[in-house]
């Protein structure tokens, strides 16, 4: 139940041609406290509740627990969420042995595109595509929970 991921800015939209799947996602936070963020997400015809703990010193690892819930329940829970819902399209791109999840944000986060890659260990190596830019793994501003509070357009 430990998530290990790295985050990068994306420098071009070339990734879209490489995507094998894309889905619109809407999500909100019942709690955006870093020690225990509680997220509600609707992705296509599925919905989830996710609890994440605080990140370690590198920003790469943290506790994550997720369960699928009925979409109708998620829609009701979204109404209880804190101000600042996240609206984005997620593109999934297979590169080597890994799948990048690239999020193109809308609304108050329009213009922001972030790529994430989940790893088995913090030291694991992976291929970096040409559209991958600066690493922002340890920059808390790029956490979705923080983007819901302090959107990209306000930076």
Closest CA to 10 of 123, 122, 95: 95
- Let me know the angle formed at the C-alpha of 31 by 28 and 35, rounded to the nearest 5 degrees: 130
- Token pair for 102: 């690239």
Maximum separation of any 2 CA atoms in the chain, in Å: 41
Annotation marks residue 106 as catalytic: no
Pairing verdict, β 86-95 and 61-69: unpaired
* Catalytic center residues: 29
């Amino acid at each position: 139940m430990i998530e290990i991921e790295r985050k990068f800015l994306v420098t071009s939209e070339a990734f879209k041609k490489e995507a094998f799947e894309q889905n619109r996602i809407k999500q909100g936070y019942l709690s955006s406290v870093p020690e225990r963020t509680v997220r509600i997400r609707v992705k296509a015809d599925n919905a989830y509740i996710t609890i994440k703990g605080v990140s370690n010193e590198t920003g790469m690892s943290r506790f994550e627990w997720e369960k699928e819930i009925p979409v109708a329940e998620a829609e009701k829970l979204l109404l209880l969420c804190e101000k600042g819902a996240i609206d984005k399209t997620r593109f999934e791109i297979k590169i080597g042995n890994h799948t990048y999840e690239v999020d193109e944000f809308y609304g108050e986060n329009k213009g922001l595109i972030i790529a994430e890659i989940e790893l088995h260990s913090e030291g694991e190596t992976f291929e970096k595509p040409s559209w991958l830019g600066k690493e922002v793994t340890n920059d808390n501003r790029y956490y979705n929970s923080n983007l819901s509070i302090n959107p990209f357009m306000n930076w």
